[in-house]
């Protein structure tokens, strides 16, 4: 169980995390979602005792977590996968951690095999790809066989096979009764992975819900349209009752008209479309609607 209680962290004038309270329960994969800069990494660092909160508390299994000789047995974490000594081999890196955490050495090769790095165990970490580093970071989190696991952006750098593997791993860890907390800024990574979601924006809690509850928030399906005549098409579709959002110089997201109708209107008005795709009311959309006010940088934002 992970608990954040009115957690606040300020860096000078920046409030990274603001009065954040939530509970992450065992037996589930809980997604921790928010746009870039929302405060996810800061929250994870506060939970792990790597930074001190300005106010509030963060506990793991009811206790303030501090890096201690047996820490990896209580909670395992993948934070910044590049933050390892590149000169060491994967096996030497994990062996040092196993020793300082009083974990049997045999566990090292076990976790390396589990994450698919069995054959790379003796290679220098410095020569690892980003995906291999992520796998090594996951092996580190698993090393102490802990009941609580935290992963910061674990899908970064993984190929599609790696993504599937990580999903399966997280579900298995949750089915074993562990607490699995996974951060991401992409809903698409979470929708087939998590069964609960905690969403933050600008350091504040926006939603704490099951995936099903979250999906019910979506207001309808939308159509992604690409056209070199964005201004003319926007005016036309608005005249016919649609809501149009411009996501890039030639990219529109349209709600209120279906793809067939948009295609007919464009054809009748001699406007050329280069792409037309329907997105059903989705978690992605609910996420975008929820976090619209919290996004730091908007592509093609004219402001």
Q: How far apart are the C-alpha atoms of 268 and 287, rounded to whole Å?
A: 34
Binding status of residue 40 toward ligand ATP by CB under 6 A? yes
Rounded to whole angstroms, what are the CA distances from 292 to 9, 35, 163, 201? 23, 9, 27, 9
- Interface pick for ligand ATP out of 7, 18, 28, 34 (rule CB under 6 A): 34
Q: Does 267 bind ligand ATP (CB under 6 A)?
A: no
Per DSSP, 239 falls in state: H
39, 71, 137, 201: which one contacts ligand ATP (CB under 6 A)?
39
Q: How far is the CB of 284 from ligand ATP (least distance, A)?
A: 16
- Tokens 């291999």 locate to 132
Report DSSP state, residue 38: S
Shorter beta-carbon distance to ligand ATP: residue 12 or 241: 12
Site for ligand ATP contains 188 (CB under 6 A): no
Indicate which single residue of 1, 6, 11, 99 sits in contact with ligand ATP (rule: CB under 6 A): 11
Report how far residue 31's alpha carbon sits from residue 183's, in angstroms, rounded to the nearest whole number: 6
Question: Are the C-beta atoms of residues 89 and 124 closer than 8 Å to each other?
Answer: yes
Pick one of 18, 30, 42, 193: the residue that binds ligand ATP (CB under 6 A): 42
CB nearer to ligand ATP: give 117 or 290. 290
Residue 257: phi and psi, rounded to 5, are -135, 140
For position 179 contacting ligand ATP by CB under 6 A, the verdict is: no
Figure out which of the listed residues 18, 41, 134, 285 binds ligand ATP, where binding follows CB under 6 A: 41
Check residue 185 for interaction with ligand ATP (CB under 6 A): yes
- For residues 150 and 153, what is the distance between their CA atoms, to the nearest angstrom? 10
User: Of the candidates 1, 6, 14, 213, which one interacts with ligand ATP according to CB under 6 A?
Assistant: 14
Q: Residue 150 burial (CB < 10 Å; 0-12/13-18/19+)?
A: buried
Smaller CB distance to ligand ATP: residue 188 or 280?
188
Cα–Cα dist 86/74, whole Å: 26
- Report the residue from 1, 6, 21, 36 that binds ligand ATP according to the rule CB under 6 A: 36
Q: CA nearest 252: which of 238, 240, 267?
A: 238
* Cβ closest to ligand ATP, residue 94 vs residue 155: 155
CB-side neighbour CA atoms (13 Å) of 151: 33
Only one of the segments 38-46, 143-151, 155-163, 240-248 lies at the binding site for ligand ATP (rule: CB under 6 A); that segment is: 38-46
Q: Which is nearer to ligand ATP, 93 or 185 (CB)?
A: 185
Burial bucket for residue 58 (CB in 10 Å: 0-12, 13-18, 19+)? buried
How many other C-beta atoms can be found within 10 angstroms of the C-beta atom of residue 50?
A: 15
Distance CA 71, CA 73 (A): 5
Asked if 37 is part of the footprint of ligand ATP (rule: CB under 6 A), the reply reads yes
Q: How near is the Cβ of 287 to ligand ATP at its closest, in Å?
A: 13
Q: Does 33 bind ligand ATP (CB under 6 A)?
A: no
137 interacts with ligand ATP by CB under 6 A: no
Q: Is 38 among the residues that bind ligand ATP (CB under 6 A)?
A: yes
Q: Interacting stretch for ligand ATP, rule CB under 6 A, among 35-43, 66-74, 105-113, 129-137?
A: 35-43
Q: Where does this chain bind ligand ATP (CB under 6 A)? A: 11, 14, 16, 34, 36-42, 185
């Amino acid at each position: 169980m992970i608990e954040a209680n009115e957690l606040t962290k300020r860096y000078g004038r920046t409030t990274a995390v603001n009065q954040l309270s939530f509970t992450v329960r065992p037996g589930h994969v809980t997604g921790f979602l928010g746009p870039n800069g929302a405060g996810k990494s800061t929250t994870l660092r506060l939970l792990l005792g790597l930074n001190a909160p300005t106010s509030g508390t963060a506990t793991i299994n009811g206790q303030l977590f501090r890096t201690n000789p047996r820490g990896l047995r209580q909670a395992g974490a993948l934070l910044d996968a590049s933050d390892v000594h590149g000169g060491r081999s994967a096996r030497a890196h994990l062996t040092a951690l196993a020793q300082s955490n009083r974990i049997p050495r045999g566990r090292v090769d076990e976790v390396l095999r589990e994450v698919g790095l069995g054959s790379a165990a003796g290679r220098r970490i410095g020569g690892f790809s980003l995906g291999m580093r992520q796998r090594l970071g996951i092996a580190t989190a698993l090393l102490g066989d802990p009941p609580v696991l935290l992963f910061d952006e674990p899908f970064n750098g993984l190929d599609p096979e790696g993504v599937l593997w990580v999903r399966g791993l997280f579900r298995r860890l949750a089915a074993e009764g562990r607490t699995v907390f996974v951060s991401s800024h992409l809903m698409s990574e979470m929708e087939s992975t998590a069964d609960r979601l905690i969403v933050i924006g600008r350091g504040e809690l926006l939603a704490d819900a099951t995936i099903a509850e979250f999906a019910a928030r979506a207001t309808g399906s939308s159509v992604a349209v690409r056209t070199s005549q964005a201004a003319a098409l926007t005016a036309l579709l608005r005249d016919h009752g649609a809501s149009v959002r411009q996501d890039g110089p030639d990219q529109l997201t349209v709600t209120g008209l279906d793809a067939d109708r948009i295609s007919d209107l464009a054809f009748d008005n001699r406007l050329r479309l280069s792409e037309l795709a329907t997105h059903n009311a989705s978690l992605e959309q609910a996420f975008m609607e929820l976090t619209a006010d919290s996004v730091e940088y908007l592509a093609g934002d004219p402001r």
